[in-house]
Amino acid sequence: MGKISNISRNDFLSLIKEFKSDAILAKNLNCSRQYVARLRKKFGISNTRDNIQKRNEKIVKEYQSMVPGIEISKKFNLSINQIYKIIRDTEGEKCKN
């Protein structure tokens, strides 16, 4: 692949999928998490945390639309326990504000 500074967008996307987190990716590339964040920004790739937040919002909206939890879990490829935890945590955040 060559130097990390010469990495292509497609190579970077492949590494993100392989290593899952910026911290693990940075460790394997022997660079800082901040550098990985700059590469994300350079290539216009959103942060995993942002993607998870958007996914969670969709899950809660579906639940509020009376879609059964089991259907939501299949759609998002998560366990039913994860779905209800997301719903519980999200509703708990709303109560705190």
pLDDT tens digits along 39-54: 989 999 887 777 788 8
What is the C-alpha to C-alpha distance for residues 34 and 54, in angstroms, rounded to an integer? 23
The set of residues, in sequence order, having a beta carbon less than 8 Å from that of 16 and lying 6+ positions away, is 25, 45
How far apart CA 51 and CA 65 sit, in angstroms, is: 21
Domain spans of the chain, in order of start: 4-45, 49-96
DSSP 21: S
- Tell if the pTM clears 0.75, that is, is over it: no
pLDDT digits (tens, 9 = 90+) for 74-90: 998 889 999 999 999 98
Considering only the top CATH level, what class is 49-96?
mainly alpha
pLDDT of residue 71: 96
* Biggest distance spanned by C-alpha atoms of the chain: 51
